[in-house]
Amino acid sequence: MPKLVELNNINKIFRIPHERRNTLKENFLNFHRKVKIEDFHALKNINLTINQGDFIGIIGRNGSGKSTLLKIIANIYTPTSGEVVVNGSISPFLELGVGFNGDMTARENVYLNGIILGLSHKEIDKKYKEIVKYAELSDFMDMKLKNFSSGMQVRLAFSVAIQADADIYLCDEVLAVGDMSFQKKCFDTFQEFKKAGKTIIYVTHDLPSVKEFCNKTALLDHGEILTFGPTEEVVKKYLQSLNV
């Protein structure tokens, strides 16, 4: 199995000033007072290898570093130390509808979003009907996006996102959207992805879906990977630690 993602000894430290001074006046008036800067160790010594075809779950409490980890893999944040090796293209579903612009029509937004996710104009032309059909929004495509309900926006965004052709998909809580029937549709699509052997890293609090999809799961706690292994065991351990 070829390694798609390799994280070696990743550390991420955010420097959080207690009183943020961004302006000249603030610096000037308070120059005698030292700004207290606290180092927040968001990720500690993370080692993780992800192979092709893996469906990796990442679970853990709020603030345990799950999203930071995804952002490091996606190259949005640079690690403070350590090495990230990514072999392949990444499609982040970190948030749906990246680049959506409320002042443009839904149709224009499909193109804008699709291109940002790496599709070409021609490819979107070809997939356009499919996208609209999947989102169940064919009557609304000439409407400005700001007049869409949030559910409609998310449906449109998800429909575009799954068309992006990438080696690795990063998903951060993206399935907690839409009504029940749309959620089911999303899960079906995930099932297809899995069958097609795509590599997915899935961050969520929804443990049943982790159990259903993920072959391996990492449990994060205070920036450290506590365990990484077969999903069943890791989820069990997580539940024990939560005492529920």
Partner 1 sequence: MTKIKEQIFSKKNLRILKEIAVSDFKVRYQNSILGYVWTLIKPLLLFAVLYVVFSVFMRFPVENYQLYLLLGVIIWNFFAEATVVALRSFETKQSLITKIYFPRIIVVIASTLTSFMTFLLNMLVFLVFLCLSNIGFHFSFFFFLIYIIELYFIILAFSLILSALYVKFRDLSHIWDVLLQIGFWLTPIIYPVSLIPDVYHRFIYLNPLARVIEYSRVVFVDGYIPAFNLNITLAIMTILIFILGMFVFRKFESQIAENI
Q: Is residue 95 a contact point for partner 1 (CB under 8 A)?
A: yes
75 binds partner 1 (CB under 8 A): yes
Strand (E) or helix (H) holding 8: strand 3-17
Question: Does residue 86 interact with partner 1 by CB under 8 A?
Answer: yes
The two tokens of residue 212 are 């259903």
Nearer CB in complex with partner 1: 115/226:
115
Q: Kindly list the distances between the CA atom of residue 35 and the CA atoms of 32, 100, 214, in Å, as whole numbers in the listed order.
A: 9, 37, 44
Q: Check residue 76 for interaction with partner 1 (CB under 8 A).
A: yes
Question: CA-CA distance, 56 to 60, in Å (whole number)?
Answer: 13
Task: State the minimum distance, in angstroms, from the CB of residue 242 to partner 1.
Answer: 29
Q: What is the DSSP letter of 138?
A: G
Which residues lie closer than 8 Å to 19 by C-beta, 6 or more apart?
30, 35, 36
Rounded Cα distance, 160 and 49, in Å = 28
> How far is Cα of residue 156 from the mean position of the Cα atoms in its chain?
17
Does 154 engage in binding with partner 1 (CB under 8 A)?
no
Site map (CB under 8 A) of partner 1, residues 2-41, x = contact: ------------x-------xxxx----------------
Pattern 105-144, partner 1, x by CB under 8 A: ---x--xx--xxxx-xx-----------------------
- From the list 30-38, 79-87, 128-136, 179-187, the region that binds partner 1 by CB under 8 A is 79-87
* CA atoms of 166 and 170, how far apart (whole Å): 10
Site for partner 1, rule CB under 8 A: 14, 22-25, 71, 74-79, 83-86, 90, 92, 94-95, 98-99, 101, 103-104, 108, 111-112, 115-118, 120-121
